[in-house]
């Protein structure tokens, strides 16, 4: 099979990059190892205000807007409450988002191959293994949208994520609650070493999760999630369902990688480290990076030369996250409940609240 671009991975970044290239008239093949896009979802699905304002997302897949964030110390008493004048967050039904994006990609002309695994790079082609067996694909360029531990990045000799958190989440349906919608965040190194635990309501489901450095969970991540879920804030009066969806996976937090392109292709999304180092939010960077990736690939295909890919530079993108990288290093050093409580106390001050608002609402 001969194509202009092979995209590996049908997450949000891969689907959008493939769609934009196909709309520009290029022959695009998208390979995804999952046979269905509504399984093995690895993101909570939180879209921030900038994404909601700048991108056309299917309204029927978005939960109600959220304007309140509560930051809790380990004791969970006296949280810092931040209230925005804007709709800051909406939690998406990611199965619906992916289904809509796949339909859009197919309508644009992308050849979407589900249940098809990327098995590596040969001398002149890439090997895919699908329901009908192996197939060799010759592609002028390949896009690695295959997650935090990207095999495409390895095969192209590009940078790979080294700084990873591990996250786990339970999602269960809830009946209507009289509690105001809010994003609850608990900073407690016993539950979420180096990061935080969270509860957020998408209007139909409660998302309860923890994330942190894998080797620093005292009793393992799953036990930490079970302990947190039993007493998580924001669920007073909510009856838990026995029907629980579980999600989990690695989260890159080292910032955008420096070398994310070469003459043969490039990386997008988690594969490129396009996640905020501090908040671990990745959907907005995925959307924006996909547009830039499609633009440079379009230039390269039309010119017949790979030179435009040199402008797809992680160092420039990385500079935008410099302050958050510094704060990431600080949060990684919070190893005791006392230190976490002291950090929350700082957030109660005027400068602290201003900094928190900038991070969470900026």
Domains of the chain are 1-44+93-163+253-320 (3.50.50.60), 58-91+164-251+331-362 (3.30.9.10)
Whole-number pLDDT of residue 228? 95
pTM, to two decimals:
0.94
Which residue did the predictor score with more confidence, 194 or 320?
A: 194
Predicted pLDDT of residue 177: 62
Asked whether residue 24 carries a pLDDT value surpassing 70, the answer given is yes
Out of 44-58, 171-185, 345-359, pick the least confident. Answer: 171-185
- Could you tell me which of 257, 90, 228, 117 has the C-alpha nearest to residue 167? 228
- Rounded Cα distance between 64 and 90, Å, is 6
Q: What are phi and psi of 295, to 5 degrees?
A: -65, -45
Share of the chain above pLDDT 90, in %: 83
| Burial class (CB within 10 angstroms; exposed 0-12, middle 13-18, buried 19+) of 243 | exposed
8 A C-beta contact, residue 281 and residue 48: yes
pLDDT of residue 321: 80
pLDDT, mean of residues 321-338: 91
Q: Residue 295: which pLDDT band, with cuts at 50, 70 and 90?
A: very high
- Give 160's contacts (C-beta < 8 A, 6+ positions apart): 149, 150, 153, 154, 257
- Residue 71: strand pairing partners: 80, 185
Tokens of 238: 């909510």
Stated length of the chain: 362
* Structure confidence at residue 162 (pLDDT): 95
Q: What is the pLDDT of residues 191-220, one digit of tens each?
A: 999 999 999 988 788 999 999 999 999 999
Burial, 65: exposed, middle or buried (Cβ in 10 Å; 0-12, 13-18, 19+)?
A: middle
* CB-CB contact of 65 with 85 (8 Å): no
Do β-strands 261-262 and 126-130 pair in parallel, antiparallel, or remain unpaired?
unpaired
| Helices 12-23, 94-108: inter-axial angle, 10-degree rounding | 20
Q: What is the pLDDT of residues 145-167, one digit of tens each?
A: 999 999 999 999 999 999 999 99
pLDDT at 339: 96
Query: In a 3-state reduction of DSSP, which class is residue 25?
Result: coil
All residues at 6 or more sequence positions from 77 whose CB lies less than 8 Å from its CB, including other chains: none
CA distance 262 to 287: 21
Q: Which residue has the higher pLDDT, 338 or 362?
A: 338
Residue 178: is its pLDDT beyond 70? no
Mean pLDDT computed over every residue of the chain: 93
Q: Three-state DSSP class for 64? A: coil
- Residues 64-89 have a mean pLDDT of 96
Task: Flag whether pLDDT at 240 surpasses 80.
Answer: no
Helix, strand and coil percent figures for the chain, each rounded to 5: 35, 25, 40
Tokens of 297: 């690939």
Conformation bin of residue 63: beta by default, left when phi > 0, alpha when psi is -120 to 50: beta
pLDDT in tens, 264-279: 999 999 999 999 888 8
């Amino acid at each position: 099979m001969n194509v202009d671009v092979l995209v590996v991975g049908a997450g949000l970044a891969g689907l959008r990059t493939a769609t934009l290239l196909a709309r520009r008239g290029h022959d695009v093949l998208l390979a995804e190892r999952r046979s269905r896009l509504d399984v093995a979802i690895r993101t909570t699905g939180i879209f921030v205000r900038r994404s909601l304002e700048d991108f056309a997302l299917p309204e029927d897949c978005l939960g109600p807007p959220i304007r309140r964030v509560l930051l809790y110390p380990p004791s969970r008493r006296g949280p810092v409450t931040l209230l925005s004048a804007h709709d800051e967050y909406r939690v998406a039904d990611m199965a619906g988002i992916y289904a809509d994006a796949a339909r859009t990609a197919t309508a644009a002309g992308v050849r979407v191959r589900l249940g098809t695994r990327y098995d590596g790079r040969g001398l002149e082609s890439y090997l895919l293994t699908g329901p009908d067996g192996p197939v060799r694909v010759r592609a002028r360029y390949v896009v690695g949208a295959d997650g935090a531990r990207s095999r495409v990045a390895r095969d192209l000799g590009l940078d790979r994520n080294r700084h990873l958190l591990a996250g786990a989440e339970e999602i269960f349906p809830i009946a209507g609650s009289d509690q105001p919608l809010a994003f609850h965040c608990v900073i407690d190194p016993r539950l979420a070493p180096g990061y935080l635990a969270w509860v957020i309501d998408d209007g139909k489901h409660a998302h309860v999760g923890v994330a942190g450095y894998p080797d620093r969970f005292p009793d393992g991540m799953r036990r930490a999630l079970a302990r947190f879920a039993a007493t998580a804030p924001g669920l007073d009066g909510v009856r838990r369902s026995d029907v629980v969806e579980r999600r989990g996976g690695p989260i890159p937090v080292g910032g955008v990688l420096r070398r994310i392109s070469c003459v043969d292709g490039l990386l997008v999304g988690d594969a490129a480290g396009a996640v905020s180092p501090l908040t671990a939010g990745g959907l907005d960077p995925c959307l924006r990076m996909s547009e830039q990736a499609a633009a440079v690939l379009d230039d390269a295909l039309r010119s017949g030369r790979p030179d435009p890919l040199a402008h797809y530079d992680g160092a420039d993108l990385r500079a935008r996250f410099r302050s958050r990288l510094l704060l990431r290093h600080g949060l990684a050093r919070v190893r005791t409940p006392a230190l976490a409580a002291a950090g929350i106390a700082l957030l109660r001050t005027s400068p602290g609240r201003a900094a928190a608002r900038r991070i969470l609402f900026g």
